[in-house]
Every structure is written in structure tokens, then in C-alpha cells.
Chain A
């Protein structure tokens, strides 16, 4: 099991955002998590990605709590969220080569170039991203998440800003990752865009995860 989260609770000031959120994810599984705005999906994703700490509950990545070996846990995860998690003053290639080197990804720059090419961004690979559109930023952000070939992908609204071509490329890349045995959690409103990738659907309601009807 690549991911196990049990009874995660999280409070911001006096408001409980997550009341009892649990999720397990096997290798090669693709789970689609849906839910209304403000239901706690993004907070849950950030806790699973180890960027936020839960107030209560337990989290295991590859069978161990991430605090036991934070470096290994984080290197197993590919995460994309509402924010691009990039430096807009750098070019896509500079960003990806930088993050790739920090994560010890072998051949980070050529691999980044190949992924950007698949997303149709090779012409803009050396252009600072300050004036990129939402869709272009999203493509680079997804490339960053996919760059190290992570065993666990947590993608929060991965289709936001993408056109049909971009969504198709993303689905093809996710299918390849799934074929390699990666487990993935997709948080998306549009269940159609994830298409045949999804093996299980869940719903976040009132800070808890339940099977989707």
C-alpha cells in the first residue's frame, strides 16, 4: 500500500476543516476525489503531500509515517495544487532543472525538455514564466510533479486551465505512470476528463471521505 491516511482531523482556528478523513491507495490505483468547494479537499491533499500537519490521525507513505524519513517520503510524492509551486521569474526549463537537481533526478534537464515537448511547451521552454497563461503555468506545474517519476501522485485540480489537448496529454502521462505502478489521487470536479483512468471514486463531504454515489 503506497498511502494510508486514517481519521485525519485538521482545524484552522476554531473551524474543523477535516473531521475524520481516511483514504488508502494501492500501487497502480487511480482514485478520483470530488466534493463541493470548501469541503476540505485541498487541505486533505496538502496533508497527504506532507506540506501540512494533521492535528489528529495517522499518515503512512510506503508503510511508514513521513516523519520517520521525510526525505524518502517526499521523494515518493509528486504533488500539484492550485498554486503552481514554481518560480515565475525563471523559465520552465530552469525551474524544472532546479527542482530535478534538488530531488536528485537523473538527467533532470533532458527529461524536463522531453516532458515540456509533450505538453507542447518546447517553444516556451526558455521564456520566463511571468507572462504565462493559467493553462501554460498548469502544464509546467504538472511537468514538475511528474518529473521524478513519483510512486505517488497527488494532483489537486490537475485539469484546471487545460484545454482538451492538454487534458489528453496529461491523461496519457498519467496512464504511463499508472502502468509503472504509481498510485494516484486526483482531486477534480470534472469526472469525465479523467476518463478511463479512474479506478475508484470518492466524495469529500463535511470534512470526511465517503464512497461516491
Chain B
């Protein structure tokens, strides 16, 4: 199955690159640590500050992960060899999206307890809802990021273009994620900001649907 084959291949390559994983995880943890020191030691509104810190760390870690994912395809021509197999481009996109999602979820799993401890926020009762919010945000990030990474592939300033394209596309997802996380940690519920869940779901569907039309075109046009 193309989707799983591509996802397993990407994750295997990430798992074998110890330097990349160490950089990604240390970078994310450092962002949380530095911002907790900057906001603390007496926090004015720890729930808001922790939510902003958590999602800022994930945004920057995601750019690192996507750039690495992009390099994997370009450095020895593996991406061209994948095209030559004649495999379904959308299945390839979904496989890469799944791998990027898993990578972001790993970072989230590391950064969440660090942020909870340093800012002294969160409890286990809100954890399932928070995981749902994170799944929505990270899926959208992975989908849009994979699409834009394909667009930036082959360009000299690809990292710059990737960040420039990603930032505006992720604004609704990231505002939603910050607001829902803040609300969960402050009041134990996302009811006051429930509409943001709909916005995030629409952003996810839009990213996945756009790729169905554009991914093959982008791949073929980027050469």
C-alpha cells in the first residue's frame, strides 16, 4: 500500500538520523525552557503563556521537520525515483503527510509535559480533549506543510519559501490551537472557543482536498 510504504520509509529515515532527531527535540525543549524563563518566574497568566509557548515551539519544530523531509527527497534523487514508479501521487502525498504528522506528534509528546511542568498548567482530565485539538492542528500543519514542501522542492531559497507560504496558511490552525489549549487549561473546557474547532477542521479538509488536485501538478511542474 503506497501510503503506508511512503510513511514507513520517511519515518525509518528520520529514526536513523540521530543528529536530526536530537536537533529537533533539543530545539523544541529549548524554546519552551527559554520562554518559561522569560515569562516567569511569577506568571501573570500561565495558561495563556504556556499555550502560546507550546504552539510556538511546535511551529518552529515543524519547519525544521518539513525542511528535513524535503531534503530527504532531493539529496540523492529519491523523490525522482518515486515519481518514476508511477505510484499514485495523492497516495504519496498522504504517506508523507502521515509521516510528518507522526514526527510532529512525537515533538508534541515531548514538549507538552515540559510546558506543563515549567508553567505548572494542565491536568489529566483535559488531556484527551487536548490530544484531539493537537491532532486537528498537527494534521493540518502536516498536510499544508507537505504540499508547500513539494512546491518549494528544487528551489534555492526553499526553506525561506516554505516558511513564507506556511505562516499565513497556518494562522487559523494556530490561533485555534492556542485558544483551545488556553481555554482547556484555564477553565477545563473548550466550550467558549468551540467555533475554532470548526475552523481548524475546515483548514484540515481544505489542505487535504487541495493536495488531491494540486500535488501531482506541483510535482511535475517543479522540474
- Does A188 make an interface contact (CB < 8 A)? no
Contacts A87-B72, A89-B16, A90-B12 given; does A99 touch B86 at CB 8 Å: no
Binary flags per residue of A60-104, CB closer than 8 Å to B gives 1, else 0: 000000000011111101010101111111100010001101110
Q: Is the CB of B86 within 8 A of A128?
A: no
Binary flags per residue of B204-223, CB closer than 8 Å to A gives 1, else 0: 00000000000000001001
- Neighbouring A residues of B220 by C-beta, 8 Å: 53
- Does B84 make an interface contact (CB < 8 A)? yes
Q: Is the CB of A103 within 8 A of B85?
A: yes
Q: Is the CB of B5 within 8 A of A87?
A: no
Q: Is the CB of A51 within 8 A of B223?
A: yes
Q: Is the CB of A84 within 8 A of B5?
A: no
A84 to B75, CA, bound (A): 10
- Neighbouring B residues of A94 by C-beta, 8 Å: 9, 12
A87 to B15, CA, bound (A): 14
A49 to B17, CA, bound (A): 31
- Neighbouring A residues of B191 by C-beta, 8 Å: none
For chain B residues 57-86, which have a beta carbon within 8 Å of chain A?
72, 75-78, 80-86
- Does A52 make an interface contact (CB < 8 A)? yes
Q: Is the CB of B85 within 8 A of A88?
A: no
- Does B169 make an interface contact (CB < 8 A)? no
Q: Is the CB of A90 within 8 A of B13?
A: yes
Q: Is the CB of A89 within 8 A of B85?
A: no
Task: Give me 11 A-to-B residue pairs in the complex whose CB atoms sit less than 8 angstroms apart, sorted by A's number.
Answer: A51-B223, A74-B83, A74-B84, A74-B86, A83-B80, A85-B78, A87-B76, A88-B75, A101-B5, A103-B86, A103-B87
For chain B residues 7-25, which have a beta carbon within 8 Å of chain A?
9, 12-13, 16-17
- Neighbouring B residues of A41 by C-beta, 8 Å: none
- Neighbouring B residues of A71 by C-beta, 8 Å: 86, 88
- Neighbouring B residues of A98 by C-beta, 8 Å: 5, 9
- Does B129 make an interface contact (CB < 8 A)? no
In this complex, how many residues of chain A approach chain B with their Cβ under 8 Å: the count is: 30
Contacts A87-B9, A101-B5 given; does A53 touch B223 at CB 8 Å: yes
- Neighbouring B residues of A49 by C-beta, 8 Å: 84
Contacts A70-B86, A103-B86 given; does A88 touch B76 at CB 8 Å: yes
- Neighbouring A residues of B5 by C-beta, 8 Å: 98, 101-102
Q: Is the CB of A74 within 8 A of B85?
A: yes
For the complex formed, measure the closest distance between the CB of A37 and the CB atoms of chain B, giving whole angstroms.
20
Q: Is the CB of A102 within 8 A of B85?
A: yes
- Does A144 make an interface contact (CB < 8 A)? yes
Q: Is the CB of A85 within 8 A of B84?
A: yes
- Neighbouring B residues of A50 by C-beta, 8 Å: 84
- Does B126 make an interface contact (CB < 8 A)? no
- Does B2 make an interface contact (CB < 8 A)? yes
Q: Is the CB of B77 within 8 A of A77?
A: no
Q: Is the CB of B16 within 8 A of A128?
A: yes
Q: Top 7 nearest A-B pairs by Cβ distance?
A: A83-B77, A85-B81, A102-B85, A74-B86, A71-B86, A103-B85, A85-B77
- Neighbouring B residues of A77 by C-beta, 8 Å: 84
A9 to B108, CA, bound (A): 50
Q: Which residue of B lies closest to A84 (CB)?
A: B76
A98 to B15, CA, bound (A): 17
Q: Which residue of B lies closest to A78 (CB)?
A: B84
User: Among the interface residues B16, B78, B83, B86, which one has the most CB atoms of the partner chain A within 10 A?
Assistant: B86
Contacts A51-B83, A72-B86, A79-B84 given; does A84 touch B9 at CB 8 Å: no
